[in-house]
Structure 1
Amino acid sequence: MTDNTAGKQEGVAAVDRAFQILGALAQRPEPSSLADLARDTGFYKSTILRLCASLEGAGYLTRLQDGHYVLGGSALRLGLAYERQSPLRQHVVPVLQDLVAKGTESASFHIRHGKAERLCLFRVNSNHSTLDRVEAGAVLPLDKGAAGRILRTYGTPKGDLAPVALSRGERDPSCAGLAAPVFGPAGLIGAVSLSGPNDRFTEQAVTRMQELLLAATAQLSLALGGLRSNIKSG
């Protein structure tokens, strides 16, 4: 291996580690200590300190006076740029709001996030007093939950392409969820899910929510340029 190749690999590894540090910061609701970041990433503290110095210089994180770290202004700038460039929010959020207004459980929109996880991009809480614990920005396992099942099966050529997935107690024993796919011109974009306490997912409630969910995802897919051959409505 040449010195040039080794240098490139080291550079890629450093970028990967920096992204993992940013991801760990984004996951915590409060500022992270050096020990928190070491525990969350598995990196040596010396490695974290070196990468944090570079990230701080670029504005992606800030070191507080007490030594804790938070995301910096450049992270906000990227988020705002994503909002400007992506048409998803203007199409997805009104659909989620409409589902909740019709009496469904809490509505969320999920996309794949790496090989084994999914990201909740948008969330509208139901009007019920008790809710499942999911927030926009949460990273969840791809192998658990109705939305995860949709994202997995529609991302696999030989998957069982059921139009709706129902899960009970997979991620949280007390919760249940329904999910259906959303398509764009190039195929699957994400999944809309309805989730809440399991005891409210009666057979009658599931039937009603499934009809509303299929109609909503069909409407959303058409708005995002999905092919009619992929879209199934209630």
Structure 2
Amino acid sequence: MALKHEPPTTPHHSAQEALRVLETVARSSTGVTDADLARHTRIGPERLTALLRMLRREGYVEQIADGAYVTGETLARLGSAHHREQTLREKLQHTLDRLRDSVGAAVYMSRYVDG
């Protein structure tokens, strides 16, 4: 379902722009250039560059060899029920890694089964 392109409200402006970029990238099966993204989303070049950098870093889009953008693994997992468990495991592992680094000791997760 496509979002309506209403005038953005100040607190949600960045999120609305990022969603417009993601919608545009997702509609293209062969990739979309930054020039096409700018034209379709009406986002200025500096702002678009910053958004694309953030979306690439987070894995929502990927830049392919010819410079075009395609949807990334994070976006695919977000919409896929099949990968929800994997995403949860990765988030848990990331949290455990941060905890390990902050306390300087091994951190383990176990499962308690009442029985």
TM-score normalised according to structure 2 size: 0.59
Consecutive unaligned residues in structure 2, runs of 5 or more? 1-8, 85-115
| Higher RCO (C-alpha 8 Å, min separation 6) | 2
Matches within 5 A, 1:1-234: 9-10=10-11, 12-81=12-81
**Per-residue CA distance 1:72-107 (angstroms, 9 max, x = gap):** 0011101213897xxxxxxxxxxxxxxxxxxxxxxx
> 1:20, 1:43 → 2: CA distance?
9
Consecutive unaligned residues in structure 1, runs of 5 or more? 1-7, 85-234
Q: Per the alignment, do residues 35 and 62 of structure 1 end up closer, same or farther by CA in structure 2, a change over 3 Å counting?
A: same
TM-score normalised according to structure 1 size: 0.30
Q: Per the alignment, do residues 30 and 14 of structure 1 end up closer, same or farther by CA in structure 2, a change over 3 Å counting?
A: same
> 1:52, 1:39 → 2: CA distance?
15
Shift of 1:60: 0.3
Aligned sequence identity (%): 30
SS state at 2:62 partner: strand
Report runs of 4+ in structure 1 exceeding 3 Å deviation.
none
Shift of 1:29: 2.4
> 1:17, 1:57 → 2: CA distance?
16
SS state at 2:30 partner: coil
> 2:48, 2:77 → 1: CA distance?
23
* Larger strand fraction of residues: 1
* Larger helix fraction of residues: 2
> 2:63, 2:83 → 1: CA distance?
26
Give the number of equivalent residue pairs: 76
**Per-residue CA distance 1:132-170 (angstroms, 9 max, x = gap):** xxxxxxxxxxxxxxxxxxxxxxxxxxxxxxxxxxxxxxx
Shift of 1:65: 2.5
> 1:22, 1:16 → 2: CA distance?
10
Q: Per the alignment, do residues 13 and 30 of structure 1 end up closer, same or farther by CA in structure 2, a change over 3 Å counting?
A: same
Q: Per the alignment, do residues 34 and 83 of structure 1 end up closer, same or farther by CA in structure 2, a change over 3 Å counting?
A: same
The aligned residue for residue 182 of structure 1 is: none
The one-letter amino acid paired with 2:52 is: C
The one-letter amino acid paired with 1:71 is: T
> 2:60, 2:83 → 1: CA distance?
18
